[in-house]
Chain A
Amino acid sequence: MRRRVGRRWGMPADLAGAALAFLLELMIVAGLAAAALLVAAVVTAAI
């Protein structure tokens, strides 16, 4: 995948891998934050 992204954007495969890794890290944190929001909404509604 990093090679494909690298070819498309004209960057070395390692740099494309790093960019993809950042994107995944961002998605992980966004997912966890969304879960926190859901828990907070349930807790606030229940109490």
Chain B
Amino acid sequence: MLIKPDREDLRIVAFALGRIFTVIAAASLLPLGWAVLGREWHPFASFLLMIGTFAFLGQLGLRYRPSDERLDWSHGMVVVALTWLAVPTIGSIPFIFSGHYGGPVDAIFDAMSGLTTTGLALVQDLDHMAPSLNFWRHLLHFLGGQGIVIAALVLFAGGGGLTLYYGEARDERILPSVRSTARFIWAVALVHLVAGVLVLGVIAHQVLGFEWKRAFFHALMVFFAAFDTGGFAPQSTSLGYYHSGIFEFAATVLMIAGAMSFGLHYALWRGPRRALFKNLETRTILTTFTFTMVLTMVGLGVAGIYTSVQGLTRQGFFQIVSAHSGTGFATIPSSELATWGGLAFAGMTVAMALGGMASSTAGGIKALRIGLTVKAVANQTKQLLLPEGAVVSTQYFQSGRKRLTPELAQSAMTVALLYVALFLLGTGVALGYGYGVQEALFESVSAGASVGLSVGVTEPSMPMLLKLTYMFQMWAGRLEFVAVFALLGFIYAWVRGK
């Protein structure tokens, strides 16, 4: 029998949401300040409306203080799922009034894409967007990539941090407490922010000839999108706008840093560094990266799309890093990417589906799950080939020697299968509207794995149902299903429970 959530359950959820909305309202002061500095009064008014909505809902939630503030597992998951629905909806207010979107759904689509660090966009005439609005698009990447709930954890003490942390699809606690782990995650981001913006800004000024102010504006936007593996860009032609190999290389370093787990960042900062390459996840991602890169480059070579070593290296390497890290930057137009058929298409699609490392800002199935699945299948095969009763080692190395239990293997395989189902959902809807198999699959994997590369399906005139499907894929894929199922279960229990 299902137990219907009582008033106390609703108070716990409302109070936690109130805290998170208050943090978002405070973060939204940044684009508001940007609009004031730039004297952009039209966006300023819409930012005020958005901040007012967040602050009002925040204060409303905080009025419902429960007797015990501690969140249990299901409360935390419901809070995370609702946060990731509400923030893009309210956060789209400045976009709705900007005149750059075909309607509210397109604006919410971009806000969802921004927060989930996907990067698919329905914005029109991006090259003439007010800088404060462009800043808000990219700040959504940063908030989503670092974890809005994690930001709230850093600011507010209180029980239930662990469930919120896991709800945002992070499964690795680096330090003893969730709060100290959250602080470390933000410290890594801030150090990369300073170094990344400095390097990109200097390149933009010295190599591309941008004036200092414009150079640092572009550097900041590209940093947010690269380190948080988002994929939005300040210009409509993505990173192809800069036509600079060194700028692309600097962005590649940030993309790879973003796709690395925070556990790996911790090891790089504080050691032990030698153990890094023994980790199952590091070995898996190096293998899958090499495999998909070779596949893509052979495909491009066979198709004769790039005939010089330089062209093949630059375009192939950048696009495969962008796909595998889940970033979604492109140095070529989507119409050119659509011509990458055969092996190149397969390499890119597989790279997008696999994604980055667990507990990183990247999406996709994640390298650790792939590694665990392969190890489990190999162990099963060994077991079959060896005499009955023989003992097969079920250990793996990931920040120390660990045991691969059947439950762990099953969990990794289940999430991987759910991702496949999610990719098929978007593919099926696009096929129903008459898109080709290749483009339907590519775009669906891009949405579900939070990548953002497009072969031209995502555009303002696409069918409404397809827009809604991609939005669901971005939301469910980013949260790695658990929080989504918890919310559905909570609603079902509320309706049918006793």
How many cross-chain pairs have Cβ atoms below 8 Å apart between A and B?
A: 75
- The answer on a CB contact under 8 Å between B293 and A35 is yes
Contact of A40 among B260, B270, B312 (CB under 8 A): B312
Min C-beta distance of A34 to chain B, whole Å: 10
- The answer on a CB contact under 8 Å between A47 and B302 is yes
- A9-34 contacts to B (CB < 8 Å): 14, 17-18, 20-22, 24-26, 28-29, 32-33
Cα(A33)–Cα(B290), bound, Å: 11
- The answer on a CB contact under 8 Å between A43 and B269 is no
Q: Does B313 contact A (CB under 8 A)?
A: yes
Residues 255-296 of B, flagged 1 when their CB comes within 8 A of A and 0 if not, give 011001000010011110100000000000000011001100
Q: Does B340 contact A (CB under 8 A)?
A: no
Min C-beta distance of A39 to chain B, whole Å: 5
Which residues of chain B are within 8 angstroms of A18 by Cβ–Cβ distance? Answer: 191, 269
Cα(A22)–Cα(B265), bound, Å: 10
- The answer on a CB contact under 8 Å between A43 and B317 is no
What band does the interface of chain A fall in when counting residues whose beta carbon is under 8 Å from B? 20 to 34
Q: Does B404 contact A (CB under 8 A)?
A: no
Q: Does B426 contact A (CB under 8 A)?
A: no
Which residues of chain A are within 8 angstroms of B265 by Cβ–Cβ distance? Answer: 21
Min C-beta distance of B279 to chain A, whole Å: 14
Chain B residues bordering chain A, tally (CB within 8 A): 33
Min C-beta distance of A27 to chain B, whole Å: 10
Which residues of chain B are within 8 angstroms of A43 by Cβ–Cβ distance? Answer: 297-298, 300-301, 312
- The answer on a CB contact under 8 Å between B271 and A1 is yes
- The answer on a CB contact under 8 Å between B270 and A17 is yes
Closest to B299 in A: A43
Task: Using known A-B contacts A1-B271, A35-B293, determine if residue A44 contacts B253 with beta carbons closer than 8 Å.
Answer: no
Contact of B289 among A22, A24, A32 (CB under 8 A): A32
- The answer on a CB contact under 8 Å between A40 and B313 is yes
Task: Using known A-B contacts A37-B309, A39-B297, A44-B301, determine if residue A17 contacts B269 with beta carbons closer than 8 Å.
Answer: yes
Chief secondary structure at chain B's binding surface: helix
Q: Does B91 contact A (CB under 8 A)?
A: no
- The answer on a CB contact under 8 Å between A44 and B317 is no
Contact of B316 among A25, A26, A36, A46 (CB under 8 A): A36
Min C-beta distance of A20 to chain B, whole Å: 7
Contact of A39 among B249, B293, B302 (CB under 8 A): B293
Task: Using known A-B contacts A43-B297, A44-B312, determine if residue A33 contacts B249 with beta carbons closer than 8 Å.
Answer: yes
Task: Using known A-B contacts A35-B290, A35-B293, A37-B309, determine if residue A29 contacts B269 with beta carbons closer than 8 Å.
Answer: no
Which residues of chain A are within 8 angstroms of B290 by Cβ–Cβ distance? Answer: 35
Q: Does B308 contact A (CB under 8 A)?
A: yes
- The answer on a CB contact under 8 Å between B313 and A36 is yes
Closest to A21 in B: B268
Q: Does B307 contact A (CB under 8 A)?
A: yes
Min C-beta distance of B122 to chain A, whole Å: 32
A1-B273, A17-B270, A44-B312 known, 13 other contacts, Cβ within 8 Å: A2-B271, A21-B269, A25-B256, A25-B268, A29-B252, A29-B253, A33-B249, A33-B313, A39-B294, A40-B317, A44-B307, A44-B308, A47-B302
Interface residue ranges, B against A (CB under 8 Å): 191, 195, 249, 252-253, 256-257, 260, 265, 268-271, 273, 289-290, 293-294, 297-298, 300-302, 304, 307-309, 312-313, 316-317, 320-321
Nearest 8 A/B pairs, CB to CB? A21-B268, A36-B317, A43-B301, A17-B269, A40-B312, A40-B313, A47-B301, A29-B253
| Cβ contacts A to B, 15 pairs, < 8 Å | A2-B269, A14-B269, A17-B271, A22-B195, A24-B273, A25-B268, A26-B253, A29-B252, A33-B317, A36-B293, A36-B297, A36-B313, A37-B309, A40-B312, A44-B309
Interface residue ranges, A against B (CB under 8 Å): 1-2, 14, 17-18, 20-22, 24-26, 28-29, 32-33, 35-37, 39-41, 43-44, 46-47
